[in-house]
Amino acid sequence: MPSFDIQIGPTRGRHRRRTFRMSPCENCHAGCCRAFAVPLTGADILRIERGLNLSFWDFACRWADPVGQIAQQYAPHFYFDDEPGTPFVIALMHRVSEVFPETTCCRFLTEGVPNETQPLGQSHCGIYDIRPAACRVFPTKFNATGELALIQDIPDRTREGDNAIYDLCSRQWEPSDLDPVQPLHDLIIARYEMQFFHQLAEQWNQEPRPWEIFPDFLRLIYSQRLMRESATTVPTHSAATPDLTQSPDDAPTVLSFPDVERQSRAA
């Protein structure tokens, strides 16, 4: 299982109104949702599909990432048989901005109309409650031991070009901007799900297949993440992901937990 720290927080929508301090996201044009490509996990994909009754093809895409600028040691690279030498990151789709048509933004961003006091408009996440883990954790990451959430320093802008719509937060974040508990919970889930997604990528990349069947692969893997205790198998090939290359005849040995315990005691 690969280990990694969350180095980036690709994007985040506007926070809900907080009582203790005005969030930097209040009144923001959501530069983060325009400047970043948001890596997805399989769990993010299933949650959005079910929450909005959308198909994978409505919101997910693969972004070529030859130098790792999108993955940034956070998201896994996937390979596909039509471009075997190109590493891809599975990410949220961008669309052309309705308000600033020379720019792009996350396809779920709800854009506000600019006015005199807010020349870039005031935009917010259209799927706040089911937004991807990468959006939830921004701008935090774990410290080296995974006990603390660190607030990252935000650059003025990360996307090339001089369009101010891609500007990020108008000020640096402070601990008092965030709930003291929720960021750690979000980071734990983000890391857990992204680690699982790395395992899944390892398996997929052993024999890259067509991009068209990737959503079916995802659904198959995730449909096997929940089972009754009495039906639990002990995979021989990986800690968590089933081996799709095996036929039912050479499936891994099935051991119930009591059997495993007896074997451990006998050892």
Binding stretches for ligand SF4 (CB under 6 A): 11-14, 24-25, 28, 30-33, 38, 92, 106, 108-109, 125, 127, 131-132, 135, 138, 168-169
Structure tokens at 12: 């985040």
Q: Cβ closer to ligand SF4: 14 or 242?
A: 14
Tell me whether residue 98 is exposed, middle or buried, using C-beta atoms within 10 angstroms of its C-beta: 0 to 12, 13 to 18, 19 or more: exposed
Q: How far is the CB of 85 from ligand SF4 (least distance, A)?
A: 29
Which among 209, 181, 198 is positioned nearest to 241, based on CA atoms?
198
62, 89 Cβ separation under 8 angstroms: yes
Which among 232, 237, 241 is positioned nearest to 260, based on CA atoms?
232
Q: Cβ closer to ligand SF4: 13 or 42?
A: 13
Q: Cβ closer to ligand SF4: 38 or 43?
A: 38
Q: Cβ closer to ligand SF4: 11 or 41?
A: 11
Q: How far is the CB of 91 from ligand SF4 (least distance, A)?
A: 10
Residues 179-202 as b/e (b if ≥16 CB within 10 A, e otherwise) read eeeebbebbeebbebbbbbbbbbe
Q: How far is the CB of 30 from ligand SF4 (least distance, A)?
A: 4
Q: How far is the CB of 137 from ligand SF4 (least distance, A)?
A: 11
